[in-house]
Amino acid sequence: MNMQPLDWGIVVTLMAVLVWGAVTTKRYTRSVADFLAANRGGGRYLISVASSMAMVGVISLVWFFEINYEVGYVRYWWVLMQGPAFIVMAISGWVFYRYRQTRAMTLPQLFELRYSRNFRVFAGLVAFVAGIINFGIFPAVGARFFIAMCGLPTAFVVAGFSISTFVVLMLILLGTSVAFTLLGGQIAVMVTDFLQGVYCNIIFIAIIIFLLVTFSWDQISTVLLAAPAEKSLVHPFHIGQEEHFNFLYFVIDVLILFYGAASWQGTAGYNCAAKNAHEAKMAGILGQWRERVLLLIVLVVPICVLTFLEHPDFTDAATTVQDQLGAIESETLRNQTRAPLALGVLLPKGLLGLACAAMLAAFISTHDSYLHSWGSIFIQDVVLPFRERPFTPRQHLWLLRCSIIGVAVFIFAFSLFFTQTQYVSMFLAITGAIFMGGAGAVIIGGLYWKRGTTPAAWAAMITGCLLALLKVLVEQIELPTLLSGIDTPILGVGIAGVVLTKVNITGQEMTLISMVGSVTVYVLVSLLGPRTVFNMDKLLHRGKYKIAGDESVSLAEARTIWEKLGFSREFTGRDKLVTYITLGWPLVWTVIFVVVTAYNLVVDVPPESWLSFWHAYTWLVLVFAIGVTIWFTVGGYQDIRYLFRKLKSEAHDVTDDGRVSHEENDRVSPGRDE
């Protein structure tokens, strides 16, 4: 076992702090709006840190460890293509601003407001099923991570019976996450995720510094330069033979940023928890620091693990890890456990405990957010629309909690029996596309195009769903072999299954196909069907429908070019300064990306020069990570104080439970609406 008493003491201490934070929130949860949306009291820093932590669980860390072990620094060059997209999305508040204006507490509730009740139920069911399948491997990946890093035995004996450590650990980890979620709903999730986010940011910085001091840049350089010429780990233009994480993979990532905004509902509670639409926009702006700076850990760890396993200076120490990896038959599981096995050997006593506690925080933050989201969506969007009379608040909260427990039971069973056959990122991409493939077109069309119709929404969602499901089917069974035994197969499914198998389309590529197909169908059905014009002002609470105290500004109300670009009258002087600083980072790197890319198209820059660039880049980002951590921590604690004051002082509206009245649903009107 790698963990010492000091390490376990650190883990127990963190858990005690988190339990205190969750229990503290319980008394504030008195209504459905409290449980689902923290009574819409979230500030920008609180939401930014907490939601970022919810998206950076152990599953995400393993995802990026796998990718960056294969492609090294190369990924970070092509990720710079996202810079312009981030800038446009941040200033405009792309999707999230309008979503918050609708005051919907779940995405399918928005679909009822915009399309129909039947479509809400259908979309809610698809989101729920896709979500829990996607969520299904999270406990397994997390449990294997902790077993590897802590050096736990695969089994232990109690009263003569051999008990699987994997099973027991999943039960403990899931049980903790469920308890946090049940205690205070979104309030508990948001507060504890913030505490975990602050802690993880600090510990990740400590781990990065330790690794960069332990491994000299000369040692790292030797290993990185030893990669095959066309699978370079440092030269972004020398990846021609990289099969999985190639140039197309990163291009699709950029498209997903726009298309998939707000569509993935694993952190749905955060999408509706902001004080107002402007605060949601500011949280989105600040969230850009997560990928750019705070996730430096997912680059440094795999680079140093690769150096540890491949450099001759560490041969003796690395032998133990290599032997353990060699004993794992599945390549998929070897990829997942490589980094935690190495960290368990590399990190000294004390720091290993801090790291284990940080990973535990990352596990809980993702699981409680996902449990809350998928459990809530099932009740709110599959069960609630069929109720003629509203539930009492007590009944409603009881059903939400039961649904959350049901989700936990499902993902435990799924993790126990499902066999993983591909990279985590590929599995999550294709299972996510079951819902997101069609939802992106439905969301963007519904929030930005008054000509979008309900039949178009149905067609787009079904198209995206079927294409993604087909890929999942092909991954799990030998579809061509299966079809060959059927006398009269369904021709379309048969041909598509064979094609997908033969050309070996990845989960990422299938996501792109689903997106393109759904957008095409949505536009065509809207244009070719009966002409309708939707009342967007009513949906977004603009004009005569504006809610008192809401300062949101529509594009039609913008008076200057800056307001039309997104800097509306809601922006204070401090807001503008924060925005300039935040967007200045991707803007500078976008200029560097364009200039250096153009230069490399003419001159083949040697890998050694790229290494020097990456060395400077690593330390620069680390310095910014320290500053951003301090900045967000101070701002987040101020937001928590505001949240608790709001929950104490403001009335809790028991009717604000996610139901859509018939009057609200009477929304389509002829003629122009702006």
Write down the domain spans for the chain.
5-105+116-418+579-661, 421-449+451-532
Q: What is the mean pLDDT of residues 216-234?
A: 89
Residue 498 — pLDDT band, cuts 50, 70, 90? very low
pLDDT-wise least confident of 126-135, 199-208, 251-260, 312-321: 251-260
Tokens of 198: 């602050």
Least confident residue range of 174-183, 233-242, 365-374: 233-242
In angstroms, the CA 611 to CA 238 distance is 14
Tens digit of each residue's pLDDT (9 = 90 or more) over 436-455: 888 999 999 999 999 999 99
Out of 37-46, 159-168, 231-240, 501-510, pick the least confident.
501-510
Residue with the two structure tokens 């450590």: 165
Q: Quote the mean pLDDT of the chain.
A: 83
**If residue 369 lies in a helix (H) or strand (E), which one and from where to where?**
helix 351-378
Angle at the Cα of 454 from the Cα atoms of 451 and 455, rounded to 5 degrees: 105
Chain-centroid distance, C-alpha 256: 12
Tokens representing 673 are: 């609406």
Per the model's pLDDT, the better-predicted residue between 134 and 652 turns out to be 134
262 by DSSP, 3-state: which? coil
What is the distance, to the nearest Å, from the Cα of residue 345 to the centroid of all Cα atoms in its chain? 29
3-class secondary-structure state, position 489? coil
Is residue 254 over pLDDT 60?
Answer: yes
Window from 97-106, 279-288, 428-437 with minimum mean pLDDT:
428-437
Side-chain-facing half-sphere of 277: CA atoms under 13 Å: 29
Is residue 127's pLDDT more than 70?
A: yes
Model confidence at 268, in pLDDT bands (50, 70, 90)?
A: confident
5-105+116-418+579-661 fold? Sodium/glucose cotransporter (1.20.1730)
Q: What CA–CA distance (Å, rounded) separates 4 from 179?
A: 27
* Residue 486, pLDDT above cutoff 50: no
Q: What pLDDT, on a 0 to 100 scale, did the predictor assign at position 445?
A: 93
Q: Helices then strands (H, E): number in the chain?
A: 31, 2
Q: Would you state the pLDDT for residue 670?
A: 39
Q: Is 534 helix (H, G, I), strand (E, B) or coil?
A: strand
Rounded to whole angstroms, how far apart are CA atoms 342 and 514? 38
Is the model's pLDDT at 295 over the cut of 80?
no
Q: What confidence category does residue 492 fall into, taking pLDDT thresholds of 50, 70 and 90?
A: very low
Percent of the chain exceeding pLDDT 70 equals 86
DSSP 42-100: B-HHHHHHHHHHHHSSHHHHHHHHHHHHHHTTHHHHHGGGHHHHHHHHHHHTTTHHHHH
More confident site: 140 or 419: 140
Cβ 460 vs Cβ 442: under 8 Å: yes
In this predicted structure, what is the pLDDT of residue 105?
79
The three-state secondary structure class of 158 is strand
Whether the pLDDT of residue 481 is over 50: the answer is no
**Percent of all residues in the chain with a pLDDT value above 90, rounded to a whole number:** 30
Give the CA count within 13 Å in the CB-facing half-sphere of 182: 16
Q: What angle do CA 443, 448, 454 make, to 5 degrees?
A: 55
Q: Does residue 477 have a pLDDT over 50? A: yes
pLDDT surpassing 80 at residue 27: yes
Angle ∠(160,164,167) on CA atoms, nearest 5:
135
